[in-house]
Amino acid sequence: MTAMPPRFTITPEQIDDQMRAFYIEIRRHPVLGPVFNTRIGTDPKAWRTHEDKIASFWRNAILFERSYNGNPQKVHGEREAVEPEHFAVWLDLFDEVLKENLPPEQAAAWSNLAHRIGRGLKMGVVQSRAKYGDVPDLG
């Protein structure tokens, strides 16, 4: 069986570097920082563990490495501090960091993938909080 080619050219080290840079900005962000701190706290080791897990998610999503074990839809839906409107803020910040750290083609390709995943996660959060019988919000 042949391994799947990556969605776009990027190294695992670039993914790791992007996660470090992004989560530095998350911790400073006035809206998103407190949301993440409710779950991760302020311990640098806990943040490093989170960054490593999310880097693994992206290596799976982009490079098709099979190192990520998790259910982002479930996790985001269960976090009361995560609101649907946070996804646009998160994506804007993610895009800024991509543009600062990667060549334009890589940044654009990763941004497109992140926005597609973000739409799905946002929809999942909305649906996880809907009351039974409500008309679905397809956003």
Query: pLDDT tens digit string along 11-55?
Result: 999 999 999 999 999 999 999 999 999 999 999 999 999 999 999
Pick the CATH number of 12-129 from 1.10.490.10, 3.20.20.450, 1.10.10.1100, 3.40.640.10: 1.10.490.10
Question: pTM (2 decimals)?
Answer: 0.88
Contact 18, 101 (CB under 8 A): yes
81 band by pLDDT with thresholds 50, 70 and 90: confident
Question: For residue 72, what pLDDT is reported?
Answer: 84
- Domain map of the chain by residue range? 12-129
The tokens describing 22, both together, are 């992004």
Q: How far apart are CA 82 and CA 40, in angstroms?
A: 13
Kindly tell me if the per-residue pLDDT of 1 is higher than 60. no
